[in-house]
Chains A and B, each alone.
Chain A
Amino acid sequence: MKYLCLVYLEEQILNAFPSDKRRSISDEAMSYCEKLQKTGQLLAASPLHPVETATTVRVREGKTSTTDGPFAETKEQLGGFLMIDVPDLNDAIRIAAQFPAARFGSVEVRPMKELGCAD
């Protein structure tokens, strides 16, 4: 099953880290992703631009509305994602829990549906 792991974090916490710590977290994330790619569990991963660049799209009664900002006003923002392919939720949780940002942010794990799957 494919899972989308959404990485939420407070950008200020990350920005407040000294630059060498930011670098080491980023290196750790990179090498973790490389490792998962080698085992075939990682399909795609990417950090995202800061939350100021986010746009939320909604369609109501046929009309598209776009609003500036993330979908909800919480302290934590969507900072990136990993798309993984593993047998079950326990494996997905295991992988999400090892992602560095899980330590100071949160990772939302969402099972993915097949494209075109109605229910």
Chain B
Amino acid sequence: MNDDTAREARVTVDEVFRCESRQVLATLIRLLGDFDTAEEALQEAFAVAMEQWPRDGIPANPRAWLVSTGRFKAIDGMRRRARYDASLNEITKHIENTTSEPLVEHEDEHIEDDRLRLIFTCCHPALAEEAQLAMTLREVCNLTTEEIARAFLTKPATMAQRIVRAKTKIRDARIPYEVPLPSELPERLDSVLRVVYLVFNEGYSASFGASLTRADLSGEAIRLGRLLLQLLPEPEVMGLLALMLLHESRRPARTSANGDLVLLEQQDRSLWNQAQVAEGIAFVERALSLKRIGPYTLQAAIAAVHAEASSAEQTDWAQIVALYDVLLRVEPSPIIQLNRAVAVAMRDGPAKGLELVDVLLARGELAQYHLAHAARADFCRRLARNAEARVSYQRALALAKQEPEQRFLRQRLMELT
């Protein structure tokens, strides 16, 4: 084989690693029964590929080749260790027997299931939510521990510890590597969708710190949503993907050149990404046609009504209020009630909105939520009740954690004086 073909083969190994490493990993975890062993086997398989493919050519089915090489390497390693530790003998035999060669040959049929198994295991509700996030980004999305730590503004050591602890719990508590039963699917899918949406939101509006958006995480969440939809075409998966696309479409208009927050009603809608809007609306329509309508689809439908309006004034606020009413029936939450109050204010005027938000604040659940006070301040400002507006903006400012939001609230306070 000449140098050119060898170079080409090395490029192919890189390419296969980028596209297929998670699928190979997902299958190896099932075959070997352990995350760490599977990861080690994956690395070894790619090392062998790097050495052999440039010399012998690329195998017909690279993925199956990698799975079978990884499995062989792992069993080989276990056999070697078993010479010193007899307790490993039985495990090695068990893995050899349950994953014989012909089984590996037919792996392609199981591969999609394996990716779902991996997602459901990483998002298992027996793991802490922060561990679910870290595991999903590490194992499913292939982000490095350092990248995840940077995205969540924690130390790499903390993130690494979190991942190690999650893997220990999966092993010791014996969290099974399986797709949930149909009867348990809705609840377990909720947990997966929440993780995907948390990743998206972490990227879309970081909960603290100087930068308002971290596009990488949002992009990762959308990719994850697409993968999930391909594996499990449930209406709510479609709804969540639509919701993320429609929010993401507004990104270019959401912050000004100097990093300040631009509210939806002031955004330059010509900046919205029309490809994402169109795709998002198409998904909403498909999800709504499936008749099992959940909270993500409803939120996406609300975002779609905004996306279809040329300005805040042109928006069909009556339809938005109606959608919030349905959403509140599916998922009663004070934050949704607050959003509904804002929509009512757009439909019926700020006095109506103020009435609703005061009832909500009096109930206490939103007392520490900066956006509730910001909404109240905004209604008062529009009603020319400036003294009240000032008090509420100050409360909101004291509670807001993000710099761009604080700047926005300070700006509003200045405009009042």
Contact = CB atoms under 8 A, between A and B. Distances in A.
Contact of A111 (B174, B176, B178, B180): B174
B124 to A, nearest CB: 8
B328 to A, nearest CB: 25
Interface in B173-192: 173-176, 178, 180, 184
A111 B174 CA distance: 8
B126 A88 contact: no
Contacts of A111: 172-174
B172 A93 contact: no
A1 interface: yes
A93 B126 CA distance: 9
Size category of the B interface is: under 10
A31 B149 CA distance: 49
A90 B172 contact: no
Nearest to A113: B172
B178 A89 contact: no
Most chain B CB neighbours (cut-off 10 Å) among A1, A87, A89, A109: A89
- Which bracket fits the contact residues of A? under 10
A1 B178 CA distance: 17
Interface in A1-28: 1
B156 to A, nearest CB: 26
Nearest to B170: A89
Contacts of B180: 90
Contacts of A89: 126, 173-176
B173 A90 contact: no
* Most central of B126, B174, B178 by chain A CB within 10 Å: B174
Contacts of B176: 87-90
Contacts of B172: 111
Contacts of B178: 90
B86 to A, nearest CB: 15
Contacts of A93: 126
A93 B180 CA distance: 13
Interface string A62-105: 00000000000000000000000001111001000000000000
Contacts of B174: 1, 87-89, 111
A109 B172 CA distance: 12
A89 B121 CA distance: 11
B321 to A, nearest CB: 36
A3 B178 CA distance: 19
Contacts of B173: 89, 109, 111
A87 B174 CA distance: 8
A119 B86 CA distance: 17
Contacts of A90: 175-176, 178, 180, 184
Nearest to A1: B174
Interface in B232-280: none
Interface in B24-43: none
A89 B180 CA distance: 12
Nearest to A93: B126
Contacts of A1: 174
A1 B175 CA distance: 11
Contacts of B184: 90
A107 B184 CA distance: 19
Central interface residue in A1, A87, A93, A109, by most chain B CB within 10 Å:
A93
Nearest to A90: B176
Nearest to A86: B174
A90 B184 CA distance: 10
B31 to A, nearest CB: 17
A109 B173 CA distance: 9
Contacts of A87: 174, 176
A27 B126 CA distance: 29
A96 to B, nearest CB: 11
B260 to A, nearest CB: 46
A110 to B, nearest CB: 8
A1 B172 CA distance: 10
A73 to B, nearest CB: 23
A29 B328 CA distance: 36
A89 B175 CA distance: 5
Interface in B130-186: 172-176, 178, 180, 184
**Top 10 A-B residue pairs of the complex, sorted by shortest distance between their CB atoms:** A88-B176, A88-B174, A111-B173, A89-B173, A89-B175, A1-B174, A89-B174, A90-B176, A111-B172, A89-B126
Interface of B: 126, 172-176, 178, 180, 184
10 contacts: A1-B174, A87-B176, A88-B174, A89-B126, A89-B176, A90-B175, A90-B176, A90-B180, A93-B126, A111-B173
Given A89-B175, A89-B176, A111-B173, 11 more contacts: A1-B174, A87-B174, A87-B176, A88-B174, A89-B126, A89-B174, A90-B176, A90-B178, A109-B173, A111-B172, A111-B174
